[in-house]
Chain A
Amino acid sequence: MSSPSDAVDAPPMARPKSLTDLFVSFTLLALQGFGGVLAVVQRELVENKRWLTKEEFIEEWAVAQIMPGPNVINLSITLGARYFGLRGALAALAGMLTFPLLVVLALALVYAQFAANAQVAGALRGMGAVAAGLITATGLRLMPALKKNVMGMPLCIALGIASFVTIAWLKLPLAWVLAGLGGIGCVAAYRKLAP
């Protein structure tokens, strides 16, 4: 296996000038992303900074998604590594996490001061209900992508419903569900993807 630092297959249109540039860029990205960073990442890196073409972005995003771990974190590690190796990966990661973490902690501390206040508790309950809807909608928006799935719609629906029931209602451990139902899915997809 070669090191990720030589993963530059085609010359990019532009690239971060330094580790500091990488860190600052990812910090600014992360601080703009309310309710998830993906949309901002696409707009900034592809359209404004031109570090990636649209096609490159889609490929990188697909890889970040199939790999385990938080997607946006994976994407920043991959891109950082591509430009500056391990130091780049760490700079991008630090940019993505440092200031947002401070903001989240500050919010949590402010919230703790007012947690006993019925109105603040109510506001957070309201935001919690909205957050539940946001996450559900992310799932709903991804559903059309299943139409192109090699397994076909009936098997996708069956696996989807089975996963929902085992997780949301039966509350089984995620590892069992991913190994069992995910295993079935991977084998079914592998058999459909004839070489």
Chain B
Amino acid sequence: MNAIALNAADWLSLFVHYLSLSMLCVGGAITTAPDMHRFLVQEKAWLTDPQFSASIAIAQAAPGPNVLFTALMGWNVGLNAGGLWTALLGMLLCLGGIMLPSSVVVYLTAHWSHRNRELRAVRAFKQGMAPLVVALLVATGWILATANGYAASNWPGWAVTFVTALVVWRTRLHLLWLLAAGALLGWMGWI
């Protein structure tokens, strides 16, 4: 654990940061992971790099929507700041923040967007954002793979990432097999 101190203003800024990222999640919550890394790890140092990666890895290994990785980030920030109660608070702030604004907008516009899916502005938004959605996914993979720095000794991890990307891109192998293989390789101390 990596003890930190958070005051009320810090908790608020954590919540506000996730609120602001909510409306930026185009193509899934995971596309905002690089910005969470910039904020939580680099700027505020509320999470360490291993904790950040672990949050995403555990959420990926568990069933359910990917967005739950934000809950774990909040949980870990809270654990660093104190104990179980602050962990629950952090979880609530991060998961609530990332979901609240977008969910309200989606609920209110569910009917409108279904009717207007052929509208020029709606289609322009979808088409114009498409290359960014793809690039953000690849950038997220890059940031996760290089979380431990660019030292050449990290090559086994990069190789696993590279092979996984190729296998998932080209085959329909079940993702659990890959996660299990990665866990086994790590367990044996090869990564």
Contact = CB atoms under 8 A, between A and B. Distances in A.
A104 B98 contact: no
Interface stretch (A2-10, A13-21, A44-52): A2-10
A86 B102 CA distance: 15
A195 B120 contact: yes
A191 to B, nearest CB: 8
Interface residues of B, number: 111
Interface residues of A, number: 109
Nearest to B113: A63
Given A35-B179, A134-B168, A119 B187 contact: yes
A123 B189 CA distance: 8
Contact of A160 (B99, B131, B162): B131
A129 B64 contact: no
Interface string B99-128: 101110111111111100100111111111
B186 A177 contact: no
Contacts of A135: 30, 137, 140-141, 144
Interface string A20-34: 000000000011111
Q: Which 5 A-B pairs have the closest CB atoms?
A: A69-B102, A100-B64, A126-B186, A133-B164, A136-B141
Interface of A: 1-4, 6-7, 9, 30-37, 59-60, 62-74, 77-78, 81-82, 86, 89, 93, 96-97, 99-101, 103-105, 107-108, 111-112, 118-143, 145-146, 149-151, 155-157, 159-164, 167-168, 171, 173-175, 177-178, 181-182, 184-190, 192-193, 195
